[in-house]
């Protein structure tokens, strides 16, 4: 079971839809169970029947084997502190890019731990943290028949967990997973999202990344 904490936002719903289409069972989490159910219902027309359900965040954390953290960076610390007990021994995938917006321009937020993913590792010492999907466009994920033609850079210190998430990424049509090394590299991937959002403003597009030369 794959679960999404903060799964009612576009990124959580988009990834939930793509994993459901790849044959996975998915739980969308929210602080409010009603909102979670609404978000699950919004995907019902595109996802296989019964593949996406909504639940409160705590139930999602408890019932899922792989737990995605898809809240804004400002909510990461309180959210993970509140769910820590449910996440012991779990594979936790952090998709957070810490950003602020000023006059429509995105900037990366400095994180004391180095990155949102490393902060998550410090907050959840008994979970295995993988950083991935920070550069993938939610808008494109939510259009189910669109092949994405993008790379997903996956960073983790645990090699088995990294391989598992790389395989999951490649279950999405048009995604190639790229081994991004250890969690210490997650900061570069997170920061790149600010650049992509500023490129989007210029080109009125949903840009993503592709690594060449490997």
Ligand X SMILES: NC(=O)c1ccc[n+]([C@@H]2O[C@H](COP(=O)([O-])OP(=O)(O)OC[C@H]3O[C@@H](n4cnc5c(N)ncnc54)[C@H](OP(=O)(O)O)[C@@H]3O)[C@@H](O)[C@H]2O)c1
| Closer residue to ligand X (CB): 159 or 201 | 201
156/21 Cα distance (integer angstroms): 25
Q: Which stretch binds ligand X (CB under 6 A): 9-17, 48-56, 83-91, 162-170?
A: 9-17
| Closer residue to ligand X (CB): 97 or 111 | 97
> Which member of 134, 180, 185, 208 binds ligand X (CB under 6 A)?
134
DSSP state of 40: H
> Which member of 47, 52, 61, 96 binds ligand X (CB under 6 A)?
96
Minimum Å gap between C-beta 29 and ligand X is 7
> Which member of 9, 114, 181, 182 binds ligand X (CB under 6 A)?
9
Which residue is nearest to ligand X, using beta carbons? 9
How many positions of this chain bind ligand X (CB under 6 A)?
Answer: 24
Considering only residues 41-70, where is the footprint of ligand X by CB under 6 A? 70
Count of CB atoms within 10 A of residue 64's CB?
A: 24
> Which member of 11, 119, 151, 191 binds ligand X (CB under 6 A)?
11
> Which member of 25, 56, 58, 75 binds ligand X (CB under 6 A)?
75
DSSP state of 90: -
DSSP state of 161: H
Cα four-point dihedral sign 17, 19, 21, 23: negative
Please name which of 40, 166, 181 lies closest in space to residue 91, comparing C-alpha atoms: 166
Residue 76 has which token pair? 């990461």
13/8 Cα distance (integer angstroms): 6
Considering only residues 170-189, where is the footprint of ligand X by CB under 6 A? none
> Which member of 2, 20, 60, 97 binds ligand X (CB under 6 A)?
97
- What is the distance between the terminal CA atoms of the chain, rounded to a whole angstrom? 32
| Closer residue to ligand X (CB): 44 or 160 | 44
DSSP state of 47: S
**Do 2 and 28 contact (CB within 8 A), yes or no?**
no
Give contact residues for ligand X (rule: CB under 6 A): 6, 8-12, 30-32, 35, 70-73, 75, 79, 95-97, 99, 134, 136-138
């Amino acid at each position: 079971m794959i679960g999404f904490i903060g799964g009612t936002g576009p990124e959580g719903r988009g990834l939930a839809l793509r994993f459901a289409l790849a044959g996975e069972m998915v739980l969308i989490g929210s602080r409010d169970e009603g909102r979670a159910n609404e978000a699950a219902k919004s995907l019902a027309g595109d996802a296989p029947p019964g593949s996406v359900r909504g639940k409160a965040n705590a139930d999602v954390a408890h019932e899922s084997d792989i737990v995605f953290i898809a809240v804004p960076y400002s909510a990461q610390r309180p959210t993970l502190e509140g769910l820590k007990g449910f996440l012991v021994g779990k594979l936790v995938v952090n998709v957070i890019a810490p950003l602020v917006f000023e006059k429509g321009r995105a900037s990366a937020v400095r994180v004391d731990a180095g990155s949102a993913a490393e902060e998550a590792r410090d907050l959840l010492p008994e979970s295995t943290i993988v950083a991935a999907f920070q550069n993938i466009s939610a808008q494109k994920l939510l259009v189910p028949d669109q092949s994405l033609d993008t790379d997903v850079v996956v960073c983790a210190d645990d090699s088995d967990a990294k391989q598992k998430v790389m395989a999951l990424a490649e279950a999405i049509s048009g995604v190639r997973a790229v081994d991004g090394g250890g969690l210490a590299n997650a900061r570069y991937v997170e920061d790149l999202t600010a650049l992509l959002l500023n490129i989007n403003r210029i080109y009125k597009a949903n840009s993503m990344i592709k690594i060449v030369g490997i």
